[in-house]
Amino acid sequence: MNHWKPVPLEQASRLLNHGPTVLVTSASGGRRNIMAAAWSMPVEFVPPRVSVVIDKKTFTKELVASGGVFGLCIPGAVLIDLTYAVGSVSGREVDKFRRYGIEARPGPVLGVPVLEAGCSAWMECRLIPEAHTEDAYDTCFAEVLSAAADSRIFQGGHWEWREDNRDLHTIHHLGAGLFVRAAEPIRARALPGNSA
């Protein structure tokens, strides 16, 4: 059974709002790549825009610059080893999809590789070229043109953390292969001062 459902673009920011580590996919001129990135965030709700730090020396940056597009896939906890692995080796040397047996298909709008098995969501992004910030801060801005999520954990615009979907819980890199799993939803209560 396929649990994947399209995410309306006005809800795309919610996929990154809580700061998960992501997989950045890219493809251009017959080559493709995948890397991990801890540093990404939304920057606008509508149109949905994001920023992500992609080191200018990486193969991913080369493909993103030439293709003008990339994918952001959000790995679930079940993919922690893979996430760390693709963040530790360069795609210039090996095809990481083949090396690690990663199944990806072309996204529906931009054709960038998107991963579904083990991921909670993905986005297809079109680079908004910003030469200065890409150079000074390795920061790439982009607009999200399509998104989808596994409805077992994200549905109706909301994440649902449950014990039975823990393999899809987002992971957040602390450094050097140590991640923390986002695990316990907590709802804020209104403070007295706030209702005055």
- Could you tell me where the beta strands, DSSP code E, fall in 9-129? 22-28, 31-37, 40-44, 49-53, 69-75, 105-106, 113-114, 119-128
Among 5, 105, 158, 162, binds a second copy (CB under 8 A): 158
Residue count at the site for a second copy (CB under 8 A)?
62
Q: Which is nearer to a second copy, 97 or 122 (CB)?
A: 97
* Residue 111 DSSP label: -
Determine the Cα–Cα distance for residues 34 and 13; give it in Å rounded to an integer.
21
Question: Please, which of residues 121-140 interact with a second copy by CB under 8 A?
Answer: 130, 132-133, 136-139
- In the complex, least distance from residue 1 CB atom to a second copy, rounded to whole angstroms: 26
109 binds a second copy (CB under 8 A): no
In terms of C-beta distances under 8 Å and separation of at least 24 residues, what long-range contacts does 126-131 make, across chains too? 126/68, 126/69, 127/64, 127/65, 127/68, 127/69, 127/70, 128/49, 129/68
Q: In angstroms, what is the minimal distance from the CB of 108 to a second copy? A: 25
Is the Cβ of residue 15 or residue 107 nearer to a second copy in the bound state?
Answer: 15
SS3 78: helix
Which lies closer to a second copy via its Cβ, residue 1 or residue 131?
A: 131
Among 123, 150, 159, 168, binds a second copy (CB under 8 A): 159
Does residue 184 touch a second copy according to CB under 8 A? Answer: yes
Neighbouring C-beta atoms of residue 101, cutoff 10 Å: 8
99, two tokens: 């090396």
Residues engaged in binding a second copy (CB under 8 A): 14, 17-21, 38-44, 49, 51, 53, 77, 80-85, 88-89, 99-100, 130, 132-133, 136-139, 141, 158-159, 161, 170-175, 177-191, 193-194, 196
